Amino acid sequence: MSILIKGGRVIDPANKIDAVLDILIEDDKISGVAKNIKTHAHTIIDAAGKIVSPGIIDMHVHLRQPGREDKETVATATAAAAKGGVTTVLAMPNTNPAMDCAESIALLKGIISKSAKVNVLICGTITKGRQGKELSDIAALKKSGAIAISDDGSSVDSDELMLEAFKKAKQSGILTICHSEDKKLSGKGVINLGFNSTRLGLRGISNESEYKRIARDIELAEKAQAPVHIAHVSCQESVEIIVKARKKGIKVTCETAPHYFSLTDDELLGYDTNMKMNPPLRSKSDLAAIREGLKDGAIDAIASDHAPHTENEKDIEFERAEFGVVGLETELAVSVTELISSKLLDWGKLIEKLSLNPARILGIDKGTLSEGKIADIVVISPEEEWQVTKDGLLSKSKNCAFLGRTLKGAVDYTICNGKIVYKR
Ligand code: DOR
Ligand code: ZN
């Protein structure tokens, strides 16, 4: 089978390409990137006026399967991913059972091979059951196919255990991803600590609970000489600490999520639980620092932290509602609306953060449009506006922070492993 994508603006930061070109896909691979490719393809996509980019690699996604199929499944999440232009997701391990052993990973792999519409990579846990008490067999996780480890949702409190984890990760050649949160500081907080938490009478989560733990995680990674990736950076001090560490030569990378560069804790004034996530929406100055960090390169990647929850878990009193928002279907459009339209980033830089950098951080051979590579490609209408509605979302859960908003940038086609997996 062959697909010819004709006359789109091809943006491939790895090869420094930003030009109007054709792309030929044969079977699962890119077989040509050139002007005016003349061939008889089975399918021709007219991409005039459209952006043609490597597929999005979202390195922070909660698929919820196994265990919470009422929230989301591999099938529904990957359908949502395809609609959002995402061709690869990294599945977070806070499932039930947690991804803490070879058997659980084999179980998830079986589900993926039956029902995934895009590539799914697996993140194992740092500790057994994500309890922070005893290390998982990290070498066994790596052997069974996990490409990173994280206790996402929680942080490992014990310094000794976390240092040991970094050492084991280093030995196994696996990346450690940190959900950096000091629970002794964030406690029972539900929104950002600040004027709004006082005004609303809700318990606050300080910046300190995040950045102090990031500083600790980086220090331990340095001791173990292991790379570390910091998940969902939300505040100014965190960015500063990461920049400083990098200047010292420490191998630290980080991601933020679209809600942290587009929304502030002012959104909480209506007690909307779709604005409740962990870390929480922060202040205006934090939002400015996150945007600046994206612009100056301090922040490497954008990931959704797609965290589906049922209506029963969200449509309740604010303090009891679950933390988290879905984001696979809106991350590209929120990025276009907030970062491209305001000229904070150009397209090349945005695609680096959504695709090339995540590939490099994860050490996977993706994120480019080089000839010979697997064809994971997204075709985008950059000026197309659309409204986010519950009915429009393919994700099983509808807890989206952008419901009702009009966003710019629509996915026309998502091609994964050479096959069209979504068409608008
Ligand atoms: O908001 C969040 N939701 N933050 C996390 O760290 C975990 C996630 C979830 O799994 O629901
Ligand atoms: Zn997390």
Establish if 150 belongs to a structural domain.
yes
- Summarize pLDDT for 385-412 with one digit per residue, the tens: 999 999 999 999 999 999 999 999 999 9
**CATH number reported for the structural domain that contains residue 412 in this entry:** 2.30.40.10
Residue 1 CA to ligand 2 centre (angstroms)? 40
Ligand 2 (ion): which residues have CB within 5 A? 152, 179
Establish if 44 belongs to a structural domain.
yes
Cα separation, 279 vs 334, in Å, equals 19
Q: Residue written as tokens 């996530």? A: 277
277 lines ligand 1 (CB under 6 A): yes
152 lines ligand 1 (CB under 6 A): yes
Q: Tell me the catalytic residues.
A: 305
For residues 153 and 214, state if they share a domain.
yes
Give ∠ CA 18-251-119 in degrees, rounded to 5.
55
Establish if 244 belongs to a structural domain.
yes
What global pTM score does this model have? 0.98
pLDDT value at residue 277: 98
Give ∠ CA 158-163-167 in degrees, rounded to 5.
150
For residues 18 and 45, state if they share a domain.
yes
Average pLDDT, stretch 115-123? 99
Tokens coding 419: 């096959």
Could you tell me the pLDDT band of residue 154, with boundaries at 50, 70 and 90?
very high
- Summarize pLDDT for 330-377 with one digit per residue, the tens: 999 999 999 999 999 999 999 999 999 999 999 999 999 999 999 999
pLDDT value at residue 319: 98
pLDDT value at residue 403: 98
Number of domains observed in the structure of the chain? 2
Tokens coding 59: 């390195």
Q: Residue written as tokens 């604005």? A: 275
Residue 333 CA to ligand 1 centre (angstroms)? 21
pLDDT value at residue 67: 98
Residue nearest to atom 1 of ligand 1 (CA): 324
Sign of the dihedral defined by the CA atoms of residues 147, 375, 22, 382, in that order: negative
By most ligand atoms within 8 Å of CB, the mutation choice from 305, 306, 313, 396 for ligand 1 is 305
For residues 76 and 38, state if they share a domain.
no
pLDDT value at residue 298: 98
For residues 43 and 79, state if they share a domain.
no
What are residue 327's phi and psi, to 5 degrees?
A: -155, -5
What are residue 294's phi and psi, to 5 degrees?
A: -70, -40
Give ∠ CA 369-24-414 in degrees, rounded to 5.
65
For residues 316 and 186, state if they share a domain.
yes
Cα separation, 59 vs 65, in Å, equals 17
Establish if 281 belongs to a structural domain.
yes
- Summarize pLDDT for 93-116 with one digit per residue, the tens: 999 999 999 999 999 999 999 999
Q: Residue written as tokens 């300190």? A: 208
For residues 220 and 111, state if they share a domain.
yes
**Alpha-carbon distance values, 360 to 55, 344, 352 (Å):** 14, 23, 10
Could you tell me the pLDDT band of residue 260, with boundaries at 50, 70 and 90?
very high
> Among residues 89, 98, 167, 159, which one has the least CA distance to residue 127?
98
Average pLDDT, stretch 254-270? 98
- Summarize pLDDT for 170-198 with one digit per residue, the tens: 999 999 999 999 999 999 999 999 999 99
For residues 46 and 58, state if they share a domain.
no
Domain limits for position 234: 54-362
For residues 246 and 177, state if they share a domain.
yes
For residues 77 and 122, state if they share a domain.
yes
User: Is the separation of the CB atoms in 264 and 241 below 8 Å?
Assistant: no
Establish if 367 belongs to a structural domain.
no
Residues in the chain: 424
Q: Which atom of ligand 1 is nearest to the CA of 62?
A: 10
- Summarize pLDDT for 15-62 with one digit per residue, the tens: 999 999 999 999 999 999 999 999 999 999 999 999 999 999 999 999
By most ligand atoms within 8 Å of CB, the mutation choice from 61, 68, 94 for ligand 1 is 94
pLDDT value at residue 225: 98
List, in sequence order, every residue forming a beta bridge with 34; answer none if it has no partner: 22
By most ligand atoms within 8 Å of CB, the mutation choice from 59, 62, 233 for ligand 1 is 62
Tokens coding 335: 């990025």
Please enumerate in sequence order all residues whose Cβ is within 8 A of that of 195, keeping only pairs 6 or more positions apart, or say none: none
- Summarize pLDDT for 124-146 with one digit per residue, the tens: 999 999 999 999 999 999 999 99
**Alpha-carbon distance values, 179 to 104, 126, 149, 205, 230 (Å):** 21, 11, 11, 15, 7
- Summarize pLDDT for 292-320 with one digit per residue, the tens: 999 999 999 999 999 999 999 999 999 99
**Alpha-carbon distance values, 40 to 32, 44, 100, 273, 422 (Å):** 13, 9, 48, 52, 22
Q: Which atom of ligand 1 is nearest to the CA of 179?
A: 6
Establish if 369 belongs to a structural domain.
no
For residues 163 and 243, state if they share a domain.
yes
Tokens coding 381: 């209408």
pLDDT value at residue 119: 99
**CATH number reported for the structural domain that contains residue 186 in this entry:** 3.20.20.140
